[in-house]
Structure 1
Amino acid sequence: MPLDQAAAAFIENATSKPTKPLSETSVAEMREGVEALIPLGFEREEVHSVEDGIVAGVPVRTYAPFVEPLATVVYVHGGSFTRCGLHTHDTLCRRFANRSGCTVVAVDFTLAPEATYPRQLDEIAAVLDALSGSGKVVLAGESSGGCLVAATALRDRSLSAVVLMLPVLDRDSGTESRHLLDKDYMLTGEQMDWMFAQYAPDAKEDDPLVFPFRANDLSGFPPTVVVTAEFDPLRDEGHAFAERIRTAGGTAEDVCIPGIIHHAPLVPKKIPAGSRVIDDACDLLRSLVS
């Protein structure tokens, strides 16, 4: 399928503005840039309740759906490990709760570079430990949040399910889409190198908890949903990861949303098809936990 027209227009608008090279851009400036995307997110949906709190010392925001929850979803946001938070993903989490029929616990983990690996994984694990014994617990995340989710699932394979949306699984997976699509579709190889330099500056190249795509053993990995995007350089590594889970004897459902780019689910008001990343993930999740 050709590039979605709305996605093409979004790319053209974004790239028409003069920007500094990434090497000259501060983390603070990167964070300011993502704030401008908040009005382009999902419409604010009502949910049964929203509550801010602290779980195991970590700030969280809990969204309860109007129905009896099928499971508790611990949600880990994306943002290159360095940006975003509860406020940027509020409308997305509301939609996730309503569409999935699950309680969503959004984790406000400490961003890089103020904190580096494995601090974020430890905070997510602490939240999961606090929720253990409360029924089915699912771990979900998008983009770099997907990396944190996959790494956590490698450490804790007792989760009821895992949801990976447009996941970052490696600095450079060497897949075809990574090299065909990493120049003209907004997510670049330079950005991938930058984000991992902020998050895990001292990482060993073979550490699967930093680069889950390099894990040697996926046996026992929790039932997994993987959603990718056709014009995302991360597309093929997401699909390959799902295939490796299946080859190891596990369950993995993966779907590719046609025509869209990596950033689409954060700007559904500009790229309406981006909503399918969340909606399809939730529909597939419901089939795993119902």
Structure 2
Amino acid sequence: MPLDQAAEAFVENALRKPAKPLSETSIAEMRASVEALIPFGFEREDVHAVDDRTVGGVAVRSYRPGTEPLGNVVYLHGGSFTRCGLHTHDTLCRRFANRSGCTVVAVDFSLAPEATHPRQLDEITAVLTAVSRANPGEKLFLAGESSGGCLAAATALRLRERGDTGLAGLVLLLPVLDRDSGTTSRHTLDEDYLLSGEQMDWMFEQYAPGAAHDDPLVFPFRALDLSGLPPTVVVTAEFDPLRDEGHAFAERIREEGGRAEDVCVPGIIHHAPLVPKQIPAGARVIDDACALLRTIVS
């Protein structure tokens, strides 16, 4: 289908604003640009309880839905590895908790370039361990959005290599899985829809400078073996350069004997779920992910 009218207006408005090359843009400016989007996020929904604590020095925030939770979802925000945090994703996590029926545990992992790979994976693993120990017998899921999807997929691969089978499911929302996957969408949609090849190169240079191009814990798309991963949900967007690599990742899991469900939200761009007040269809990224997660729970 064509680009959603609200998404088209958002893109046109963004492209009208002159932007400096990334090489001339400071980390502070990058972070300020996403802070400006907070007012366009989801409406703030009530949840049964919100709890702030730290795990190994990392802040986490739990959102417990009003119903008896179906499990626990450790949630990793996006933001090019360099920006966003608990405050930028508060309303998104509230919606995720209510729609999934699970307690969502948002992780304020260390940002690049101040911290680089594999520190983020270590922090995420520590949070998963803490949540599992605090909730014995309850299902544990790992979810990540955009660059957080990269961290989620890499963490799942790392746990598999260690023989840890504690994850009941993996949820990837518009995931970044490679610097350049070579897929069709990566090269046909990376000019006009606000996520460019330049940005992809830049974010990985901040997060994992000097990483080998085939390191699956940096670039999960490059993993030679995707067998043994937990049941996986992948949500992509039609006008996202990352669309095809997300679908291909799910397809490979299925081909290698695993369970994977993937869905593409029509008409929207990569940034849509951060600005549902401007691109209402962006809400489907969260809602579709939660609906598919419930199929894993059941």
TM range (shorter): over 0.9
| Partner residue, 1:147 | 150
Partners of 2:297 and 2:276 lie apart in 1 by 26
Partners of 1:86 and 1:38 lie apart in 2 by 11
Question: Is 1:136 the equivalent of 2:144?
Answer: no
The runs of at least 4 consecutive aligned structure 1 residues that moved more than 3 Å come to none
SS state at 1:182 partner: coil
Partners of 2:275 and 2:175 lie apart in 1 by 17
Alignment check: 8 A CA contact 1:86 1:107 kept: yes
| Partner residue, 1:206 | 214
Q: Which amino acid aligns with 2:146?
A: S
Partners of 2:42 and 2:154 lie apart in 1 by 28
User: Is 128-137 or 192-201 further displaced after alignment?
Assistant: 128-137
| Partner residue, 2:20 | 20
SS state at 2:6 partner: helix
| Partner residue, 1:226 | 234
Deviation digits for residues 239-276 of structure 1, max 9, x if unmatched?
Answer: 00000000110000000000000000000000000000
Q: Which amino acid aligns with 1:4?
A: D
| Partner residue, 2:205 | 197
Structure 2 unaligned residues grouped into runs of 5+: none
Q: How does 1:26-105 map to 2 (within 5 A)?
A: 26-105=26-105
CA drift of 1:56 comes to 3.0
Q: Which amino acid aligns with 2:244?
A: D
Deviation digits for residues 207-256 of structure 1, max 9, x if unmatched?
Answer: 00000000001110110000000000000000000000001100000000
CA drift of 1:155 comes to 1.1
Alignment check: 8 A CA contact 1:226 1:242 kept: yes
CA drift of 1:57 comes to 2.6
Partners of 2:225 and 2:209 lie apart in 1 by 24
Q: State the aligned residue count.
A: 290
| Partner residue, 2:286 | 278
CA drift of 1:22 comes to 1.3
CA drift of 1:132 comes to 2.1
Alignment check: 8 A CA contact 1:161 1:222 kept: yes
SS state at 1:156 partner: helix
Partners of 2:143 and 2:105 lie apart in 1 by 10
Percent identity among equivalent residues?
79
CA drift of 1:19 comes to 1.6
Alignment check: 8 A CA contact 1:73 1:138 kept: yes
CA drift of 1:202 comes to 1.9
SS state at 1:283 partner: helix
User: Is 155-164 or 68-77 further displaced after alignment?
Assistant: 155-164
Partners of 1:37 and 1:131 lie apart in 2 by 30
Q: Which amino acid aligns with 2:216?
A: P
Alignment check: 8 A CA contact 1:41 1:268 kept: yes
Give TM-score scaled by structure 2 length.
0.96
Q: Which amino acid aligns with 1:144?
A: S
Partners of 1:186 and 1:6 lie apart in 2 by 14
Q: Which amino acid aligns with 1:286?
A: R
Q: Which amino acid aligns with 1:148?
A: L
Partners of 1:190 and 1:20 lie apart in 2 by 12
Deviation digits for residues 154-193 of structure 1, max 9, x if unmatched?
Answer: 0114210000000000000000000000000000000000
CA drift of 1:18 comes to 1.5
Structure 1 unaligned residues grouped into runs of 5+: none
Alignment check: 8 A CA contact 1:56 1:130 kept: no
Partners of 1:236 and 1:122 lie apart in 2 by 29
| Partner residue, 1:173 | 181
Q: Which amino acid aligns with 1:59?
A: A
Computed over aligned residues only, the root mean square deviation of the Cα atoms, in angstroms, reads 0.7
Q: Which amino acid aligns with 1:33?
A: S
| Partner residue, 1:268 | 276
Give TM-score scaled by structure 1 length.
0.99
